[in-house]
Each structure stands twice: as structure tokens, then as C-alpha cells.
Amino acid sequence: MKPSNYVIIAPCYNEEKNIEKFINNIEILLKKNNFGCDICLVDDGSIDSSWKIIRKICEKKKNIKAILLSKNFGKDNAIEAGLETFCYNNYIIIDADMQHPIEKIPEMIEIYENKKLEILNTHRIDSNEGLQREFFSKLFYNLLNKFSDINIVVKTTDFMIISKKARDVYIKIHEKNKTFRILINWMGFKSISIPIKINKRFRGKSKYTFLNLAKIALSTFSSFSIFPIKVISYLGLLISLISMVFLLNIFINYSSNFQVITWQINIIIINLFFTGLSLCSIGLVGLYVSKIHNNTNHRPKYIIENKIDK
């Protein structure tokens, strides 16, 4: 197998304990399969010794390129920095934390080339992320598939191969806070997804807390669906009907002098309910407005502080 003009793009953030092992494993795989391929490490503003280690690796190995971002812009922006900076025919996207199964790359390339795909996705088939995370992951993808204009395999990952054609279109989409794995498939190019098993981390801890994942999920869902806005409209109609029932109840109690709950308390309950709903609605609308604001302020999605390209 001798695929031509491939590059591996690996975003990393505080992976000082994994980078050398990752590079060694990749190079063993490349040599074993007679696979000529460059590697691009994108340091997403690490605050540990990741960049120092990356520089040393680049000094020793000619096929290793690297980008240092000025701060942590997020993995999706780090991936885009690698895609925009380097031009190849094909791109293999993989995390540097050793969780994506490197040994699957030869099989992925074979499927990608034989089927003449533009995008080869992967999706997790294991359940080693914990019950809570697994539940909300399935819920997110099911809601996204049902209430948006995109159809994506549940538990899809960033470990994939994309063509230059897909890359060129992706980087031309000038949207802030892109979610790479979702938007790359939204474009509609020929693609399939194959199952993989995620490895346990070699060293270190995951950078994605439940709160971070919730923020990403909310941002992604609001980018591809206006369903939450529709829900507010439906809730408004429903609450109007409920409020009429409450008012009727207050009137009956007042007319019959049979007051289990005083009309003042009923009014207070209704006001509290409406106040909470109004605040939630304003917050939800604010989320969509903030996305419009972010896409009109023309700030860069990332800033490159340093680059090693030999």
C-alpha cells in the first residue's frame, strides 16, 4: 500500500506525556505498511511542555510539521488551522491522546480509496465513557438527527479521512464555532462510517468535562436547528391555555367562597412560572443572537504563534 500525498493532522492540548508515544506508534505503522505520510501536530495553546517536546521531535524528523496556536482556541479550530495551513490531497484527522486506534489507519485508507470516498467517518461502538456520558451522547445525536437538516451516525468521532475537495469547501465556510465532525458531514459529499473501539488514555486526563461537552452540544445543536425556538412558541401557546384554567379556577373559588388555596397564592404561582419561562426564553434567544454576533465581529478563529514547516 503506497497512498500518495497524505498528511496526518493531530490536534493536541497539554499532551506532554503522550506526544512522543503517539509519534513513535504512527511511525512504526507507516514503516510497517510502506506508507509515505507527513504528520502535522497542532498545539492548541498548551500550558505544559507539549510545544517544547514537539520542537525537539521536529528537529530530528523531517516529515513532522507543527503549529503553535497563541492560546487554547478549541480542538475544532485547531483542526481547521492544520487544514488551512497545509495543502495535501488527503487528510487523516486523529487525536494525539492515543485514544483513537492508530492501527485502523491502513484499513481506513483502503476503504477510502477503494470506494472513492470524499469522507471516511468513524463511530464508537464501545461504552467506556461512563453511563451518564453515553446517555447524553446518544440523546444529543438522536435529537440532532431528528430536529435538524443533518443525518449523522450516533457516536461519530473526529478520527476520519477527508479529501482535498472536502477540505477546500470546509475552510471556505466562514462560520465561527464550527463543530468539525458535524459540519464536514453536513456538506453532503460521498461518505461512509466504520466502527472503531476507543482506547483508554495512555497517560493524562481527558480535557472534556461534562460541562465542556454540554456547551459544545448546545452550540452545535443551535447551529443546525431552530427547534428550540419552535419549542418556545409551542410552550407559549400551552402556557396561555394553562393560565386560562388557573384564572377560571380563581374565579370559581372566589365566586363559591371555597378557597383551598387563596387567589393571591394562585397569582403568585402563575407569576413565578411566567417569570422563569420568560428568563429561559430570553436566554435561548440570546444564544442565537450571540451566534450572530460572533459571526459578524470578524475575529480570527485562531492565531498562529509559531510554525515549523521544513
Residue 1 has pLDDT above 50, yes or no: no
- Quote the pLDDT of residue 298: 72
Residue with cell 484527522: 93
Q: Which amino acid is located at 163 in the chain?
A: S
CB 45 within 8 A of CB 81: no
Total count of residues recorded for the chain? 310
Q: What's the pLDDT tens digit per position in 22-55?
A: 999 999 998 898 888 899 999 999 999 999 999 9
125: helix, coil or strand? Answer: coil
The three three-digit cell numbers of residue 119, written as one number: 469522507
Most confident option among 79-88, 195-204, 244-253, 267-276? 79-88
Q: Mind spelling out the 3-state secondary structure of 263-291? A: HHHHHHHHHHHHHHHHHHHHHHHHHHHHH
User: Could you read off the pLDDT of 258-309 as tens digits, one per residue?
Assistant: 655 566 666 776 776 676 667 667 766 766 676 676 666 677 889 999 999 8
- Among the listed residues 199, 223, 17, the one whose alpha carbon sits nearest the alpha carbon of residue 94: 199
Ranked by mean pLDDT, the top range of 13-17, 238-242, 263-267 is 13-17
pLDDT at 261: 58
User: SS3 for 155?
Assistant: coil
Taking only the tens place, the pLDDT of each residue in 176-229 is: 778 888 889 888 899 999 999 888 765 556 555 556 656 666 666 656 566 666
Helix, strand or coil, per DSSP, at residue 234? helix
Question: What is the C-alpha to C-alpha distance for residues 275 and 239, in angstroms, rounded to an integer?
Answer: 12
- Is the CB of residue 137 less than 8 Å from the CB of residue 155? yes
Burial class (CB in 10 A: 0-12, 13-18, 19+), 191: buried
Identify each DSSP E strand in the chain by its residue range.
Answer: 6-12, 37-43, 64-69, 90-93, 119-124, 160-163, 191-196, 304-308
Q: How far apart are CA 120 and CA 92, in angstroms?
A: 9
